Amino acid sequence: MNNMALLDELTQLAARQIGLRIPDDARDHFAAMLREHAAHLGYSPEDYRAFLAGRQASEEWEEFARAFTSGETFFFRDHGQFDLLRLRLLPELIGQHRHDKILRLWSAGCASGEEVYSLAMLVDMLLPERGEWDILILGTDIDSAAIARARRAQYGKWSFRMVPPEIQQRYFNQQSAAPQSFVLDERIRRMVALRVSNLVSEPFPDPASELHDMDLILCRNVFIYFDSLAATAVAAKFAATLREGGYLLTAHTELTGHQAPELESRLFAEGVVYRRRVHAPAEPSPPPLSQRERETIASSGEYLEKNSGEYPEKKLAGEGVAASSPARSAGDTHNIPPPTLAGEGWGEGASLPDEARAYADRGEYEQAEQICHKALAINPLATAPYFLLAQLAQLRGDFELARDYLNKVLYLDPHFVAAHMELAALCERAGDMLRAQALRRAALGIVRTMPNDEMIEQYETTSGELMQWLAQWEREPAEERRYSHSA
Residue 460, pLDDT score: 58
Choose among 361, 342, 330: nearest CA to 161: 361
Backbone angles phi, psi at 347, to 5 degrees: 65, -125
Choose among 395, 387, 288, 265: nearest CA to 331: 387
Choose among 239, 224, 255, 279: nearest CA to 72: 224
Helix (H) or strand (E) holding 218: strand 214-219
Residue 342, pLDDT score: 33
Question: What kind of architecture, by CATH, is found in domain 79-302?
Answer: 3-Layer(aba) Sandwich (3.40)
Integer Cα distance of 379 and 487 in angstroms: 44
Residue 304, pLDDT score: 57
Mark residue 226 as left, alpha or beta (left: phi above 0; alpha: psi -120 to 50; beta: remaining): beta
Residue 370, pLDDT score: 92
Can you tell me whether residue 257 is helix, strand or coil?
A: coil
CB 116 within 8 A of CB 170: no
Residue 295, pLDDT score: 61
What pTM value is reported for the model? 0.62
Contacts of 196 (CB under 8 A, 6+ apart): 140, 141, 142, 143, 144, 147
Residue 269, pLDDT score: 62
DSSP letter for each residue of 337-379:
--GGGGTTT-GGGGGHHHHHHHHHHTT-HHHHHHHHHHHHHH-
Residues in the chain: 487
Mutual angle of helices 4-18 and 45-52, in 10-degree steps: 20
Choose among 188, 173, 117, 171: nearest CA to 149: 117
Q: Do domains 79-302 and 313-480 have the same CATH topology?
A: no
**321: number of Cβ within 10 Å:** 29
Choose among 270, 308, 72: nearest CA to 167: 308
Integer Cα distance of 458 and 75 in angstroms: 17
Backbone angles phi, psi at 413, to 5 degrees: -140, 90
Please give the CATH number for the structural domain made up of 313-480: 1.25.40.10
Profile the chain (487 residues) by mean pLDDT over runs of 10 residues. 83 93 89 92 91 90 89 83 90 94 97 96 93 96 95 92 86 84 95 96 94 96 90 94 95 73 79 84 57 60 48 32 33 33 42 82 82 89 89 82 92 89 82 84 89 76 75 48 36
Can you tell me whether residue 194 is helix, strand or coil?
A: strand
Integer Cα distance of 139 and 105 in angstroms: 9
Q: Where are the domains of the chain?
A: 4-68, 79-302, 313-480
Q: Which residues of 128-157 are buried (b: 16+ CB within 10 A; e: fewer)?
A: eeeeeeebbbbbbbbbeebbebbeebbbeb
The beta-strand segments (E) located in 61-113 are 102-108
Residue 454, pLDDT score: 85
Residue 183, pLDDT score: 95
CA distances from 52 to 2, 61, 104, 374 (A): 18, 8, 34, 43
Integer Cα distance of 116 and 141 in angstroms: 11
